[in-house]
Amino acid sequence: MPFLCLQCKLSCQSDWHNGHCSPGETKWTTLKGLHCTWICSSLSQVQTAWSMALMDKHKQVKRQRLDRICEGIRPPILNGPMHPRPLVALLDGRDCTVEMPILKDVATVAFCDAQSTQEIHEKVLNEAVAALLYHTITLSRDDLEKFKGLRVIVRIGSGFDNVDIKAAAELGIAVCNVPAASVEETADTSLCLILNLYRRVTWMHQTLREGTRASSVEQIREVAGGAARIRGETLGIIGLGRVGQAVALRAKAFGFGVIFYDPYLPDGVERSLGLQRMATLQDLLIHSDCVSLHCSLNEHNHHLINDFTIKQMRQGAFLVNTSRGGLVDEKALAQALKEGRIRGAALDVHETEPFSFSTGPLKDAPNLICTPHTSWYSEQASVEAREEAAREVRRAITGRIPDSLKNCVNKEYLMAASQWPSIEAATVHPELNGAAYRFPPGLINVAAAGGLPGAGTGVESLVSGTLAHGITPVSHPPHAPSPNKAEADRDIPSDQ
């Protein structure tokens, strides 16, 4: 006989209920752990009840959506788990098959395939709490303000110069990246371009494609003019991060002497890698036969390679850039290539992307190799970066922002911009048992296994100096998971 479960909203087939039910009678039983109502009546009555249940379910879904929209005002930082089943948007992609297996049980994933926020659907702007993006879309302050409930942005890749991280922090949005993404691919491409410049493979190939013969010594000299021996040359690396180190190790194997300039790197790294450190950028440019850029782009190093720094380079040096297009002044580079001050250049990134030879200052520049920002790509690297980005979003949804995030690049700005809630001195959150929390400088760390004593028990004497000087106590964020239940349900935190 058909029956209806008003709890799980499923219509099933079952045996007669002992054959003793009168029309309209309902009895409670348990089916697979759920309380179900047996409808012992005619089939039409069952169908009517089923329709009513569907209407109730539809109203419930509408209420949930309305609640989600009403909660669109961005919550404060460090306020615990997000709304159940939040919306995660892949802004500039058209495929989320890699992200879905990681996020499907905690979020709804959608892709926008947008090149700007003007192309993003209003529903995403209103409801998305997390955003994944590549390098093809830019999020300025104005763009970020269009998102009503956004709390975390994860860049699928290492660079994050297409996101205003300071503005994001002021709006309560954490920005993350995948720093280990495509290190091998970018390093391989960098060395490939360096070797191409030295051995002029691209120009020789183009000569044959054009039907030009190169059989005599004079013809070969004309086609391969500018080719050079690699062993004994000096490669100067600007920025010795993950990619810079990978390029240095590969270059040493080919016989390059490697020097580098990186003011942010601690002392001692050069000794462990067998490299020579330059004290200034000028020193590196003077001593390098080939300069390779591997630093991030920020407001301090825009147009790092310009007319002034190009004049400091050796006559006939090579230049390679697989980092960020804004590091090179393309007008100055084009002029240097035409004048022969730079023998050859290879660029995978450009000031304006997508790049086209038909426009821009580089269209008539000789001895130039350009690729369309693809040094990062391989099938393996693409999947790995997307998986790690999805895992970062999952950590944000299930944990606490920004402490749960692995690669938050604007955490210091978040701490400075966040509005920390205050509570009365005698108020202690019940989930504080055994917890030791990290708070911004000047605030109190409290650690107490088994909970803090209440008012009037003498605990004031322990912190009387702090309370007397008016330092605001800090509350445990509401709805945050208990720290006692993390790390295999430990009772006492390891950092207590």
For the chain, the domains span: 2-70, 87-181+382-413, 184-370, 421-496
Give the pLDDT confidence score for residue 403 in this predicted structure: 83
Domains 87-181+382-413 and 184-370 fall in the same CATH topology:
yes
15-29, 68-82, 381-395, 411-425 — most confident range: 381-395
pLDDT given for residue 410 in this prediction: 93
pLDDT band at 400 (very low <50, low <70, confident <90, very high): confident
The residue annotated as part of the active site, out of 373, 386, 394, 476, is 373
184-370 fold: Rossmann fold (3.40.50)
Q: What percent of the chain has pLDDT over 90?
A: 59
For 7-31, letters b (16+ CB in 10 Å) and e give eeeeeeeeeeeeeebeeeeeeeeee
147/156 Cα distance (integer angstroms) = 19
pTM listed for this prediction: 0.68
Residue 187: alpha-carbon gap to chain centroid: 20
What is the per-residue pLDDT for 64? 62
Residue 381 pLDDT more than 90? Answer: yes
Residues 233-252 pLDDT 10s: 999 999 999 999 999 999 99
- Mean pLDDT throughout 22-38? 40
pLDDT reported for residue 159: 92
What average pLDDT does this structure show over 279-283? Answer: 97
* Phi-psi category of residue 85: left, alpha or beta, with phi > 0 → left and psi -120 to 50 → alpha: left
**Residue scoring higher pLDDT (46 or 19):** 46
What would the mean pLDDT of 171-183 be, rounded to a whole number? 95
For 315, the 3-state DSSP assignment is coil
As a whole number, the mean pLDDT across the chain is 78
CB of 358 closer than 8 Å to CB of 371: no
What pLDDT, on a 0 to 100 scale, did the predictor assign at position 455? 46
- Decide: 86 and 397 in contact? Cβ < 8 Å: yes
- Express each pLDDT in 283-321 by its tens digit: 999 999 999 999 999 889 999 999 999 999 999 999 999
At 45 the pLDDT is: 57
- The stretch 320-331 carries a mean pLDDT of 98
Strand partners, 342: 317
Which two tokens mark 436? Answer: 């030791």
Which residue type occupies 81?
A: P
Provide the CATH topology of domain 87-181+382-413: Rossmann fold (3.40.50)
The dihedral of CA 210, 216, 220, 222: what is its sign? negative
* pLDDT higher than threshold 70 for residue 343: yes
- The whole-number pLDDT of residue 215 equals 85
**The most confident of 16-30, 96-110, 443-457, by mean pLDDT:** 96-110
Mean pLDDT, range 32-55, rounded to an integer: 52
Pairing of strands 234-238, 257-261: parallel
Quick one: pLDDT at residue 426? 31
Catalytic residue selected from 68, 324, 350, 395 = 324
Among residues of the chain, what percentage have pLDDT more than 70? 68
Cis, peptide link before residue 76, omega less than 30° from 0: no
Per-residue pLDDT, 15: 40
Active site residue 353: yes
Marked catalytic residue, from 25, 145, 222, 353: 353
66 has a pLDDT exceeding 90: no
379 is catalytic: no
For residue 408, the 8-state DSSP code is: B
Q: Residues 356-377: what's their mean pLDDT?
A: 94
Give the C-alpha separation, 285 to 204, whole Å.
28
By CB neighbour count within 10 A (0-12 exposed, 13-18 middle, 19+ buried), where does 327 fall?
buried
pLDDT (tens digit, 9 = 90+) per residue, 91-121?
999 899 999 999 999 999 999 999 999 999 9
**Is 121 marked active-site?**
no
User: Which region among 58-62, 205-209, 309-313 has the lowest average model confidence (pLDDT)?
Assistant: 58-62
Question: What Rg do the C-alpha atoms of the chain give, in angstroms?
Answer: 31
Q: Cα separations (Å) of 35 from 5, 9, 23, 27, 32?
A: 8, 11, 20, 10, 9
* pLDDT average, residue stretch 20-40: 40
